[in-house]
Structure 1
Amino acid sequence: MKKKIHILLTLAGILFLNNSCTDLKEEVLDETLGTTLTDEEAANGIIAPVYALLPNIFQHTTYFALQEISTDEAILPYRGGTDWGDNGIYLALHAHNTTSTDPNVRSTWDNLAQSISRSILAITTLPNLSSPNAPLYLAEARGMRAYYSMMTLDLFGVVFVKDDSNTPSKVIRGDEAVKYIESELLAIEPLVQPKSAVGPGRLNQAAVWGLLARLYLNAPVYRNIYGSTFDFTAADMDKVIQYCDKIITSGQAKLSSDYFAIFGNDNHTNEELLFAVDQRPDLNGHNRMAYFSISGDQFPLAQYPLANGTDGPGITSDFYRTWVQAYGAVDPKRDPRFYQENMSIYSNQADTCVNDADYKINRGILRGQQYGALRVNGAFLRCPDGKLKVGKLGYVTRSKPELAVNFTELIDFTTAGSNYNSGYRVEKYEFSRESNTGRNRGEADIVILRLADIYMMRAEAKLRKSGDAAGALADVNLVRASRTATLPPPALTAMDLDLLFRERGFEFYWEMLRRTDMIRFGKYEGKWTEKTDSNVRKRIFPIPQTAIDAASNTPGYLVQNEGY
């Protein structure tokens, strides 16, 4: 179903202020058109805001920061002593010293809380409308509330239960929260449409199955968040396998032969995606995932000399070494998930003149000296034939032209490890062709669920339930073998939980799964670059102090998480 969804400015004063969702494109109407709406228009206007804050939730400084920079996968030092200092919040996040006043924690919480509120408004309003789409939209709103609740449970250990906008929410935790989310997803499972009918940007049948599998896999953690061990029961693991099987056998998704196409500008139609944040440029999505890590002197678009990176986070040496250990004497770029070279200039430095249409930044994990479009005084240099001049990059934008954009393995909180060029960088999502600043008009949908994760979750459930290493190995190798656009990674010959954790790192790096994975696999209290804290209470984040203060008039209603 493809149609425009209107933001309706009614006398009630409801104003929806954000971007559109997937095929639900918002169009602001002038109040002078009147306040009498058809039920169809009203239904359309009510469902759009339920999805509208997803781009905000998945921004680089909200959910991404919490899920990645808090782990062994990503680190964001105080660059050059002048950039990304932000009062030390990224240093604290990586070292597990985050406090309840952290603005990224607050932004994530606020966007989730507002999305839940919008879902409740839709749930309470849609049953009163005679629109033929109202039942479907009601199911989607209820399912999205469950999804947002799963995120608050995973991040903060709490879920808010509320069915009436005029009554206070009930705060639940642990097993009660798991059962509530499960019941909501099961209730709407038969009511939402197949992915083929609505695409990956709407809550669809395969997405619900995938969320149920993810819930059952993490339920042992959610029930006992501070536990020294987690009870992965056969009943839970059977359900993981059951819902993964449903997706795999339904034919609603297909593994992509090209790994980086999953994160490309045209990925809205990539068959591997089950559920995603629609970022197509007509929806004015963000492009921060592509700009966040690369250098401020990397300009990926020939037509836009203002679109660059920002020297944000790099991968830790600890995470890079897992690739090295896996491949031994072979360069890890042998794995098509690690790196994709897009121009010969990067291996043939004499090839310095490039057609604008052929200029394309490399993808994956970027190491060593970087080459790209040379810019002087805000304009790109050109060869005598008019082609784009491409050469060795230095930190001209930082007034340090003598410092090469030469990414090093070293990255930490020391002076040397915090330089602009420290750390290998990640360009997993393709840089949007439409982004004139590098910070806007994203094209690539941000992945929430994809088919590879379904196979990996099924593999993990097989291992945890009965030690079925052969079955788990088959699932993992099937995913590896599917990447046939280039030479696929070699088949593995053994499988256990440690190898599966490593494999999930290779497959899903930079996809906002790492923190949840580390906790489930018992790795989150370990030591890595600049992180030595082993306090199990840091598995979840503090509830923002602003939320605690707002609830202070009801004693005991919202209690801060332990350890904060």
Structure 2
Amino acid sequence: MRHIKFLSIFAIAVMVAFTACINDLDVEPIDPNEATATNVFSDELSYKRALARVYATYAISGQRGGGGGLPDIEGIDEGFGNYLRLYWNLQQLPTDETVMAWDDASIKDFHWHTWSPNDVFIGAMYSRIFYAITLANEFIRTSEDAMGSATGDFLEDLRLYQAESRFLRAFSYWHAIDMFGNVSFVTDEDPIGAFFPQRITRADLFDYVEQELIDLEGDLAAPGTNEYARVDRVAAWMLLSKLYLNAEVYIGEAKYTEALTYLNKVINEGGYSIDPNYIRMFRVDNDQSPEIIFPISFNAQNTQQYGGMTFITNASRGGNMLPNGVGAWGGIRAIKELVEIFGFNESDFTTEDPVFNAREDHRAQFFFDPESWSWEVENVGLFTHGIGVYKFTNLRSDGEPDPMAEGDFASTDFPMFRLGDAYLMYAEAVLRGGQGGSRAIALQLVNELRDRAFGNTNHRITDSELTLDFILDERARELYWEAHRRTDLIRFGKLTGGDYIWTWKGNVPEGRSTGAFRDLYPIPVNDLDTNPNLIQNTGYSN
């Protein structure tokens, strides 16, 4: 958390660009006081404020606080339409880590693997991705225009701001690659006007994002020199690593050696270190963590909305769970498969000790009261069927309340990229045959995480235990609920199909095989209807 107030600077200009497929865009608001890209950049500071709005699109849902109207996208409740909330749900709910109790629209379809192309949440995620891309495009155009007359420090600032916007555009395009595959493609070089964006294939978009990140690497701030919550070149190295680690899924070509090239940079040149306090990374004071490379920043007073971390912290508490600094909405919880990856059983939890304080792995932040909860999810709609998760809270790491507390709004930042993930990615890339790393270093990195998890060296693994199956389970133990699991399971060939079954997968209590085409989400029907250049993903019918 930092005391940041995100400003709406050029939202109207962006909204105009965002509707470029259907509207005449050569218009100006009648009200001369209305903020647009043509009149809002009155001084040098205004460009930094505009950059803050590009970042803020991942955290906030609209132009007013508290979900109070003027949403960024239409067709969905403003709180539901928050970028991070949508991304988290689409990454977590189809997996063995999370299940949702609520009946909002089609939200249960994600855990059941029964979603369709007209799903409101899928449509909103697609719109959110391209709203963020359009916002970045507009800032890149505007900053490029200003560079013609800028000099000195202001020119250097503009170059840095533009590089950060290009990173954020690449970041959202990575989400498009991962979730949707073949999508619309627009950049700052496209004209402002009515046109149908061209379709880009997954492979071509992979190449574009890869080249963008390589090209802008030197333009981003050096490691450790940028302000908190703004990216530096380590974030670009991390995103390249993720792109390469998943390349076999995205383009059918292994790039584990390339992944190791950039993971070595992240680990050895990034300047980040493993946080000795695992819990701190998911608490209000996680802005003090030395491990978080790229956070999505929140503040209970200045980023008030019902998505993002406000959603994650409130929705994960219900029943008789422990206080976590916000409310108790009773929505998301774990299923037994996640908890059993830690080696825990129902009998480990008691009414007297529902958090299982005797656990040795302190990453396991679970709650289960056998007197009032059910280990088996007999009814998906009952929050107390399953296991509570209190990994994310709105408390400080010392248990004290958020000093900026206000209602149910959260101040905990979301750790989008962190070093512990890079350690496990390194080990996986080595095991998959990548060159430029070693099993010895991979084993050392994994055991460093396990030493932190257990508080001692008694639970280190041996070289023979370092397998891909172990890595998948260790990623669940280390990174659960951090919005990685869907991508991980796809990379390991286990999200769909019958090799790995979990509770309610396929919409039956015992779980069943689901179609491999669900490794990609469908292109939303509304976008197919309005853009003739798009083609539906295989397996889906409109």
After TM superposition, the score normalised by the length of structure 2 is: 0.77
2:502 aligned with 1:528, yes or no?
A: yes
| SS of residue in 2 equivalent to 1:99 | coil
2:33 is matched with: 31
Closer, same or farther: CA 491–127 of 1 in aligned 2, 3 Å: same
Which deviates more from structure 2 when the two are superposed, residues 32-41 or residues 118-127?
32-41
Which deviates more from structure 2 when the two are superposed, residues 178-187 or residues 190-199?
190-199
2:461 aligned with 1:492, yes or no?
A: yes
Closer, same or farther: CA 329–76 of 1 in aligned 2, 3 Å: closer
| SS of residue in 2 equivalent to 1:490 | coil
Q: Deviations over 1:110-165 (max 9, x none)?
A: 11110000111112221111232111111111111111000011011134243224
2:361 is matched with: 335
CA–CA distance in 1 between the matches of 2:314 and 2:3? 30
Q: Deviations over 1:464-505 (max 9, x none)?
A: 016964443222112222457x45771112210000000000
Identity fraction in percent: 26
Q: CA deviation at 1:15?
A: 7.8
2:220 aligned with 1:192, yes or no?
A: yes
Tell me which amino acid in the other structure corresponds to 1:462. Answer: V
Q: Deviations over 1:194-242 (max 9, x none)?
A: 3422245212111111001111101110114xxxxxx53xxx2122111
1:398 is matched with: none
- The equivalences for 1:156-305 within 5 A come to 156-159=180-183, 160-162=185-187, 163-166=189-192, 168-224=196-252, 231-232=253-254, 236-285=255-304, 286-295=309-318, 298=321, 300=323
2:433 aligned with 1:465, yes or no?
A: yes
CA–CA distance in 2 between the matches of 1:240 and 1:200? 26
Q: Deviations over 1:362-391 (max 9, x none)?
A: xx211226xxxxxxxxxxxxxxxxxxxxxx
1:410 is matched with: 376
Tell me which amino acid in the other structure corresponds to 1:458. Answer: Y
Closer, same or farther: CA 454–111 of 1 in aligned 2, 3 Å: same
1:537 is matched with: 517
Structure 1, unaligned runs of 5 or more: 17-29, 78-83, 225-230, 339-363, 370-403
Q: 2:390 aligns with which of 415, 427, 451?
A: 427
CA–CA distance in 2 between the matches of 1:523 and 1:222? 16
2:179 is matched with: 155
CA–CA distance in 1 between the matches of 2:386 and 2:420? 28
2:120 is matched with: 103
Closer, same or farther: CA 58–86 of 1 in aligned 2, 3 Å: closer
Q: CA deviation at 1:37?
A: 4.5
- Aligned residue pairs total 460
Structure having the larger proportion of residues in strand: 1
Q: CA deviation at 1:2?
A: 11
Q: CA deviation at 1:13?
A: 5.9
Indicate conservation of the 8 Å contact 2:301/2:405, yes or no: no
CA–CA distance in 1 between the matches of 2:39 and 2:141? 20
2:517 aligned with 1:548, yes or no?
A: no
2:91 aligned with 1:91, yes or no?
A: no
Tell me which amino acid in the other structure corresponds to 2:451. Answer: A
Q: CA deviation at 1:58?
A: 6.5
| SS of residue in 2 equivalent to 1:448 | strand
Closer, same or farther: CA 3–473 of 1 in aligned 2, 3 Å: closer
Indicate conservation of the 8 Å contact 2:274/2:290, yes or no: yes
1:476 is matched with: 446
Tell me which amino acid in the other structure corresponds to 1:516. Answer: T
Closer, same or farther: CA 4–418 of 1 in aligned 2, 3 Å: closer
Closer, same or farther: CA 461–37 of 1 in aligned 2, 3 Å: closer
- The equivalences for 1:27-66 within 5 A come to 31=33, 35=39, 37-55=41-59, 56=61, 61-66=85-90
Indicate conservation of the 8 Å contact 1:201/1:275, yes or no: yes
- The equivalences for 1:139-150 within 5 A come to 139-150=163-174
Indicate conservation of the 8 Å contact 1:462/1:471, yes or no: no
Q: CA deviation at 1:296?
A: 5.3
Closer, same or farther: CA 561–260 of 1 in aligned 2, 3 Å: same
CA–CA distance in 2 between the matches of 1:121 and 1:109? 18
CA–CA distance in 2 between the matches of 1:157 and 1:562? 11
Closer, same or farther: CA 315–8 of 1 in aligned 2, 3 Å: closer
Q: 1:563 aligns with which of 520, 539, 542?
A: 539
Indicate conservation of the 8 Å contact 1:5/1:44, yes or no: no
Closer, same or farther: CA 420–168 of 1 in aligned 2, 3 Å: closer
Indicate conservation of the 8 Å contact 1:296/1:308, yes or no: no
Tell me which amino acid in the other structure corresponds to 1:474. Answer: Q
CA–CA distance in 2 between the matches of 1:299 and 1:335? 19
Q: Deviations over 1:150-182 (max 9, x none)?
A: 001101113424322426533212321111100
Which deviates more from structure 2 when the two are superposed, residues 177-186 or residues 318-327?
318-327
| SS of residue in 1 equivalent to 2:107 | helix
CA–CA distance in 2 between the matches of 1:449 and 1:118? 22
Closer, same or farther: CA 193–282 of 1 in aligned 2, 3 Å: farther
Rg larger in 1 or in 2?
1
| SS of residue in 2 equivalent to 1:430 | coil
Tell me which amino acid in the other structure corresponds to 2:298. Answer: Q
Q: CA deviation at 1:261?
A: 0.5
| SS of residue in 1 equivalent to 2:443 | helix
CA–CA distance in 1 between the matches of 2:439 and 2:315? 38
Q: CA deviation at 1:550?
A: 2.2
CA–CA distance in 2 between the matches of 1:13 and 1:90? 32
CA–CA distance in 2 between the matches of 1:444 and 1:426? 16
Q: CA deviation at 1:251?
A: 4.7
Closer, same or farther: CA 111–489 of 1 in aligned 2, 3 Å: farther
Closer, same or farther: CA 5–111 of 1 in aligned 2, 3 Å: closer
2:21 is matched with: none
CA–CA distance in 2 between the matches of 1:91 and 1:509? 20
CA RMSD of aligned residues (A): 3.2
CA–CA distance in 2 between the matches of 1:198 and 1:428? 28
CA–CA distance in 2 between the matches of 1:261 and 1:5? 24
CA–CA distance in 1 between the matches of 2:317 and 2:97? 16
Q: Deviations over 1:235-263 (max 9, x none)?
A: x2122111111122225211011111011
2:131 aligned with 1:114, yes or no?
A: yes
Tell me which amino acid in the other structure corresponds to 2:199. Answer: V
Tell me which amino acid in the other structure corresponds to 1:64. Answer: W
Closer, same or farther: CA 175–13 of 1 in aligned 2, 3 Å: closer
